[in-house]
């Protein structure tokens, strides 16, 4: 039986008018009252599948330095779009950009839309942004972000285990001086990858030398420029690097090559993502392949289940595949 506002009113003990205002996010409703009304409405199935007519892909931008300059996310987006189309759902794209003067209005518009299910690209999110997610009442899923306190549906890459494997690969190839190319904007996926690196080093009994951690930019150009700065200071290099991602790896490789450092004869390097140009770099990059389009399809299928209300909250991790090319040598 279809739930109506009168039933919600009777259960919550507030007027039908208040229920209507709360469900439509109109001003003048006490925040606690609105939250109680929405919670009851959700439990009764008021926001059922028939009310969702489209999927809204929302890119959260803190400074845009990671999500704006990579082909990774467009490839994942293709997978989401394909799956939505096959299930008769339209998809629109928008963003929440904290740099914009109308950011608060962007947030209000997102929260007020009851006809869309939401895919939130949370790559640039930090812990304090979780409060925004807690306000979303439409069916939604977060991609590429996880916080231990969250009870939200999420799909992310298995970052920690992937980099642990890559580090062990270098150790098996004889490397004991292994450094880390660290993006200067510390998104959660980068932090998780760093955990995998440190875990593998500790497990092998190899000291982690802080002087072998090089902070660089998160685009090819800025990674190259900052690596140039390090090299100009005459720093000692390790025999191998793990990089937060392919863009960082390729930028650092460019700087090293231009300064007469040979890859992999002098320094080996491993990236992450397997972006399309990693295979055709001057030295083809050994990296970790992320199934980007398939990851997008997994996101869309999971969102469909959330809309139907047929499954429990889950954290899904997508595994990577190690791709061995020419940027690593045995020592």
**Which domains are assigned to the chain?**
52-157+293-320 (3.40.50.2300), 159-290 (3.40.50.2300)
Residue 104's alpha-carbon distances to 29, 67, 137, 234, in angstroms, are 19, 20, 17, 46
Q: What is the pTM of this model?
A: 0.82
For residues 173-202, average pLDDT = 96
Distance CA 224, CA 258 (A): 10
Distance CA 248, CA 230 (A): 14
Confidence of residue 27 (pLDDT cuts 50, 70, 90): low
Distance CA 106, CA 214 (A): 36
The two three-digit tokens of residue 58, written as one number: 């929302």
Q: Give, in degrees to the nearest 5, the angle at Cα 315 between 314 and 320.
A: 140
pLDDT at res. 24: 65
pLDDT at res. 131: 82
Confidence of residue 128 (pLDDT cuts 50, 70, 90): confident
The two three-digit tokens of residue 317, written as one number: 């991790």
Distance CA 58, CA 78 (A): 14
Distance CA 266, CA 313 (A): 47
pLDDT at res. 129: 86
Distance CA 123, CA 154 (A): 12
Specify the residue for token string 């507030």. Answer: 14
């Amino acid at each position: 039986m279809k739930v109506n506002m009168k039933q919600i009113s009777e259960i919550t003990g507030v007027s039908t008018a208040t229920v209507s205002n709360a469900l439509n996010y109109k001003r003048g409703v006490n925040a606690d009252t609105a939250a109680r009304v929405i919670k009851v409405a959700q439990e009764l199935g008021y926001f059922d599948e028939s009310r969702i007519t489209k999927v809204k892909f929302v890119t959260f931008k803190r400074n845009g330095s990671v999500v704006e300059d990579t082909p990774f996310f467009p490839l994942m987006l293709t997978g989401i779009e394909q799956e939505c189309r096959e299930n008769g759902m339209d998809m629109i794209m928008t963003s929440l950009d904290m740099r914009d003067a109308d950011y608060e209005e962007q947030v209000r518009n997102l929260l007020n839309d009851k006809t869309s299910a939401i895919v939130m690209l949370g790559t640039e999110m930090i812990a304090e942004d979780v409060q925004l997610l807690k306000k979303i009442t439409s069916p939604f899923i977060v991609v590429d972000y996880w916080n231990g306190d969250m009870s939200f549906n999420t799909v992310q890459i298995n970052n920690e285990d992937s980099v642990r494997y890559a580090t062990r690969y270098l150790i098996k190839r004889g490397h004991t001086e292994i450094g880390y190319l660290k993006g200067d904007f510390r998104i959660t996926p980068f932090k998780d990858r760093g955990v995998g690196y440190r875990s593998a080093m500790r497990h092998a009994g190899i000291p982690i030398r802080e002087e072998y951690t090089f902070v660089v930019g998160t685009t090819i150009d800025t990674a190259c420029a900052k690596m140039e700065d390090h090299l100009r200071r005459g720093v000692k290099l390790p025999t191998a690097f793990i990089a937060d991602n392919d863009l960082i790896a390729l930028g650092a490789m460019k700087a090293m090559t231009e300064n007469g450092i040979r890859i992999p004869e002098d320094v080996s390097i491993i990236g992450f993502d397997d972006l399309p140009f990693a295979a055709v770099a001057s030295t083809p990059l050994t990296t970790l392949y992320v199934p980007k389009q398939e990851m997008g399809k997994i996101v869309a299928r999971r969102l469909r289940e959330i809309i139907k209300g047929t499954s429990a909250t889950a954290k899904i991790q997508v595994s990577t595949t190690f791709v061995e090319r020419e940027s690593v040598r045995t020592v």
